[in-house]
Chains A and B, each alone.
Chain A
Amino acid sequence: MARDKIYLEEVFPSPFMQLWSVFRKTPVAMAGICCFIFLVFLAIFGPMLAPYSPVDSNLDMILLPPAWHPEGNVSYLLGTDELGRDMLSRLMYGTSLTFGLSFIVVIISLVIGVIFGSLSALTKGMKSSFLNHFFDVVLSIPSLLLAIIIVAILGPGIGNTVWAIAIVFIPQFIHITRYAVKEEFRKDYVLASKLDGASNFRILYYSVFPNIVERLMSQATLAQSAAILDIATLGFLGLGAQIPLPEWGAILANGLERFYIAPWTVYLPGLAILFAVIATNLVGEGIRHALKVRKEN
């Protein structure tokens, strides 16, 4: 067969680019990543774009329904709550709290988990077995229960929630890193660099990590969707973000008393949480699908 690019070097895309080329061809995953990028954008720039302050009350505009309702007001697009605070602004600020903080949670637990996971993968014998058992015990306590206990120790508040959920998520990252690193260390290319005289740390950093980074990413999206739900749940229970903060779960809990006269104060934050979790899950699902396809080829 004639080759049309006779003078060009043949290009072998890097593993990451291969992944992206599969990912790009799945429309659902692309929709997910668009929503995800939109949320990231809102989390960063939302506070600047929001039309009103999320905490200042406006007693002339109490419990205004969304704009499409006959009694709605266009300048308050999604209506107002019982203190006349604009729902749209509150939800936009809430993006940087609920969604943005879930990012921070995942990054904290990812970094700590990967460090401990690779260390425990390199240890052997009694120490390793003890670590394994210990993390299995921690993993089988329900994550929200553990987070609630940690919040009880630290006291309620959004900062403490972040720490609590980050601590709760560390064991699963340790677990997955440990297994991934152990699996890679059995392969031939690691043996090759070992024969070249590379130290364990060097092998880990230059050879193993580039090969497991996608698996960690897929676990990170799973953890992030769980983190959004956990932050919102703790906010809803009154253990996370405290009263004036526009965290989605807290907004929802705030609207609870007036659910029957102002249902939008409950529907909208719930939909926001649902949207964020679905976007994250679609991205994760896309990565997992692309990983599977890449493995098959």
Chain B
Amino acid sequence: MLRFTFRRLSLFILTMFVLTIISFSLSFLFPGDAVINHSGQINATASELQILNTAYKTDENIVSQFFAYLQHILNGDLGQSMASQSPISSEIRLLLPATIELSLIALIISMTVGIPLGFIAAIKHEKLGDNVILSLAMLGYSIPVFWLGLLAIHHFSVNLGWLPSAGKLSLLFEIEFVTGIQFIDILLSDSPYKWQAFKDATLHILLPACVIAIAPATIFIRLSRTVMIEVLSASYIKAARAKGLSFNQIIFRHAIRNAMIKIIRHVGLQFANLVTIAMVTEVIFSWPGIGRWLIESIYQRDYTAIQGGLLVLSCFIFIVHILIDFIYAALNPLARGKKYGS
């Protein structure tokens, strides 16, 4: 396990290094001066520009420029937003928790809906149930998320009036920002209307999270179906059946456990996909997260913000990726010995 940890950590560091190279080179690819793109100070005076030039070592070669940039990032200085002139790290600190909350809840919804449906489809392989579930999965996989979001708002918020259509909490409630994750903040606050706020936050997150969850859920359906069919045809299932175990015992005690291990392995890859969908959904539902902020900063040609957003969002995805790898390795001893890429 120690070697496994070491290997994953070195992979993480390497990946982050490549990402910072990409982010660094973006400054040169974007229109405008690289130093201003690094720092975001568009209104810098001549003397301020001088300080920036020495800080980012622009008169030295490209390698020392990169390390100067890397040092700024490691110190938590991502520059300041060109549009609002406030530090990007503090803006991200406010926005990232909302995205984490939304995407994790969507991941949980998609897994709790998708995996059991996939198992049912596998157990009823090549029967009516299997075909119905597969066709639904195909539909959900093909639907454009922004359209689905609009239809959901139209139906559930406007026509039926069940759920709010925008934002993450009603303005009536005043919740202090502690962690940024709405539910934890509400539970920590000492407001007398705590539970009303909790209910309101749940109603707000329900619609966007379900819209995000649909596409990953269909992928989980297909994945768990394939894995389950594979597991059910394995010899140990045949042995369990020969022992005289009942159908429920075989499924719950042997098949599901073995299938889950293989599914967990793929959760990390799906997460990147889910975050992409979440970015678009945030725009539609006016969710105050990093995806909406990133797309808005493209409209405003805020290059420093785009760089910072790319770096932080990809970093978040990698951390989840590696966490899931650890969970997988902890559950499946066979995975620990394998070399990366083999």
Contact = CB atoms under 8 A, between A and B. Distances in A.
Interface of A: 129, 132-134, 136-137, 140-145, 148-149, 151-153, 225, 229, 232-233, 236-239, 249, 252, 256, 259-260, 263, 266, 270, 273-274, 277-278, 281-282, 285
Interface stretch (B69-77, B112-120, B139-147, B237-245): B139-147
Contacts of A149: 26, 306, 310
Contacts of B151: 270
B264 interface: no
A10 B145 CA distance: 51
Contact-size category for B: 35 or more
B147 A140 contact: no
Interface string B303-342: 1001000100110011001000000000000000000010
A206 B250 CA distance: 49
A interface SS class: helix
B310 A273 contact: no
A104 B295 CA distance: 26
Contact of A282 (B11, B138, B146, B154): B138
Contacts of B295: 148, 237, 239
A239 to B, nearest CB: 6
B126 to A, nearest CB: 12
Contact of A281 (B142, B294, B298, B313): B142
B112 to A, nearest CB: 23
Most A Cβ at <10 Å: residue of B275, B276, B313:
B276
B184 interface: no
B30 interface: yes
Contacts of A252: 146-147, 150
Interface string B147-191: 100110010001000000000000000000000000000000000
21 contacts: A133-B11, A134-B18, A140-B15, A141-B314, A143-B276, A145-B279, A145-B294, A145-B313, A148-B298, A153-B29, A232-B144, A236-B144, A237-B295, A238-B299, A249-B146, A256-B150, A274-B142, A274-B143, A277-B142, A277-B144, A281-B138
B38 to A, nearest CB: 15
Contacts of B306: 149, 152
B244 to A, nearest CB: 31
Contacts of A229: 144-145
Interface string B250-282: 000000000000000000010011011001100
B interface SS class: helix
Given A153-B26, A274-B142, A281-B138, A145 B310 contact: yes
Nearest to B313: A145
B225 to A, nearest CB: 13
Contacts of B143: 274, 277
B19 interface: yes
Given A133-B14, A134-B18, A152-B306, A144 B144 contact: no
Contact of A144 (B142, B150, B279, B317): B279
Contacts of B228: none
Contacts of B145: 229, 233
Given A152-B298, A153-B29, A273 B144 contact: yes
A153 B60 CA distance: 25
Nearest to A154: B29
B106 interface: no
Contact of A142 (B29, B138, B276): B276
A133 B15 CA distance: 8
Nearest to B134: A285
Nearest to A239: B298
A142 B146 contact: no
Given A252-B146, A273-B147, A142 B14 contact: no
Given A133-B18, A142-B279, 10 more contacts: A141-B314, A145-B294, A145-B314, A236-B146, A237-B283, A270-B150, A277-B144, A278-B139, A281-B141, A282-B138
Contacts of B310: 141, 145, 149
A146 to B, nearest CB: 8
B280 A237 contact: yes
